[in-house]
Amino acid sequence: MLLAASLVYFMGVYLLLPTLPLYAVHLGGGDAIAGLLMGIFTVAAISVRPLTGWALDAYGRKAILVVGTLISAVSIFAHEWAVSIMLLLALRFINGLGFGLQTTAASTLAGDMAPRARLGEGIGFFTLAIGVPMAIAPAVGMWLVDRGDFSALFLLAGRLTAVSLLLCFFIPFPERVGARLPFSRPSFASLFERGSSFPAAMVFLLTITYGPILSLLALYGVDRGLGNVGVFFTVYAVVLTATRPLSGRLADGWGFEPTAAVGLAFVGVGLLTLAAAHSLVVLLLAAGLYGVGFGTSQPSLQAIVIHRVAPARRGAAMATFLIAYDLGLTVGSVIAGFLAGVLTLGGVFAFSAALAVLAIVLLVVHMRRGAAALVR
């Protein structure tokens, strides 16, 4: 039920992500406004995640999940009446708040529900809720926009989010861990979980590598004459979706850190292949390698957070992890723009591969320190 609720929720998210810039142009905005739509959505999600993690641990999961999904549904339906750029930006900020609440709560719940012996596999299946919509919803959204039907776009996205809200009431929520706290002001230390700092740092490095793909791939396709680079994201999403459950099962037997390291190696090879691409075939090969790598490493890193942190602090830990995930995407996109002025576009992707190698080195050092501590 949690997977189903998250699946239809992300269908609504990915219907709007590639199409709202076109709606902004329809309202009279320019390219800068199109970028600001994504930026304000991400800022809102990041800003609410620390408090969300604390509230999940202090007051339970159900209310946060329901409120986040409700805010998302109402704000998406309200896009229909966004008659100005300022109103559209305000709605994107509100939607970002709902997104931060819903995704932090749902990810924490997935950690609560997954059996310890099959944690990697459970998280792998849960993350299908992101991969499947990524492969389907953008194409559907662009088809609706090509017909000039923004009303149908907002209605479909809103209805999907409303279905997600309905499904939330059928989720068998596990019993709360610890006593319900009286209302009080959270301390800074209670908002973040130190036990999740290492996997959060690793996912930060991982998602930095995706930022240049999001921001520069279209320009790269024109520069290299690669044709329709949109198929990169289709292949990436399909491979990502197929990889996650399988890599989760591998991680349960082999270990989360080694599996994450292997995934990061695929990420690095995929980025180097992308940097060398001079044909569409090589571009799609890079998409497949990168998809295998991301689909292997990200669920394993998320499983490390769940495995190492006490259930009573799992909300704060997951919030810390997701903040790092969001920041990596944002920082990667910004850095890519600056690097593109210094390096070639292919050089930017090669630089991103070096970050994947750095993450592998840090993981290996971390594993060796852990093994040495056990020996002592």
* Tens digits of residue pLDDT in 27-42: 877 656 766 777 788 8
Same domain, 210 and 74: no
Q: Is the pLDDT of residue 140 over 90?
A: no
Q: Which residue, of 110, 141, 172, is where some domain finishes?
A: 172
Q: How far apart are CA 95 and CA 126, in angstroms?
A: 22
Specify whether the CB–CB gap between 192 and 316 falls below 8 A. Answer: yes
The rounded percent of the chain whose pLDDT value lies above 70 is 92
Same domain, 216 and 276: yes
Q: Which residue, of 126, 144, 172, is where some domain finishes?
A: 172
CATH number at residue 233: 1.20.1250.20
Same domain, 238 and 133: no
* Residue at 183 is within a domain: no
Task: Please report, for residues 55, 77, 261, the alpha-carbon distance to residue 329 in angstroms, rounded to integers and kept in the order given.
Answer: 25, 27, 20
Q: pLDDT band at 191, cuts 50/70/90?
A: low
Specify whether the CB–CB gap between 296 and 243 falls below 8 A. Answer: yes
Tell me what the pLDDT averaged over the chain comes to.
Answer: 84
* Residue at 365 is within a domain: yes
DSSP helix/strand/coil, 176 = coil
**Predicted confidence (pLDDT) per residue in 234-272, tens digit:** 888 889 888 887 887 787 778 888 899 999 999 999 999
Of residues 216 and 70, more confidence is placed in: 70
Same domain, 32 and 145: yes
Same domain, 160 and 208: no
Same domain, 207 and 328: yes
Q: Is the pLDDT of residue 179 over 50?
A: no
CA terminus-to-terminus distance, the chain: 44
Specify whether the CB–CB gap between 41 and 329 falls below 8 A. Answer: no
* Residue at 187 is within a domain: no
Q: pLDDT band at 376, cuts 50/70/90?
A: very low
* Residue at 125 is within a domain: yes
**Which of 185, 215, 159, 178 has its CA nearest to residue 345?**
215
Contacts of residue 177, defined as CB under 8 A and 6 or more positions apart, other chains included, come to 311, 312, 314
Same domain, 247 and 153: no
* Residue at 184 is within a domain: no
Same domain, 219 and 132: no
* Residue at 287 is within a domain: yes
Q: What are phi and psi of 147, to 5 degrees?
A: -85, 0
Same domain, 118 and 196: no
Q: pLDDT band at 372, cuts 50/70/90?
A: very low
DSSP helix/strand/coil, 348 = helix
* Residue at 182 is within a domain: no
pLDDT of residue 34: 64
Q: How far apart are CA 312 and CA 317, in angstroms?
A: 10
Instruction: Classify residue 352 as exposed, middle or buried by CB count within 10 Å of its CB (0-12, 13-18, 19+).
Output: buried
Of residues 355 and 227, more confidence is placed in: 355
Same domain, 131 and 198: no
Q: Which residue, of 172, 205, 232, is where some domain finishes?
A: 172
Same domain, 1 and 121: yes
**CB neighbours (10 Å) of residue 25?**
13
**Which of 318, 253, 258 has its CA nearest to residue 54?**
318
Q: What is the domain range of residue 247?
A: 192-376
Same domain, 119 and 206: no
Q: Dihedral of CA 93/145/77/28: which sign?
A: positive
* Residue at 179 is within a domain: no
Domain count along the chain: 2
Contacts of residue 339, defined as CB under 8 A and 6 or more positions apart, other chains included, come to 212, 347, 348, 351
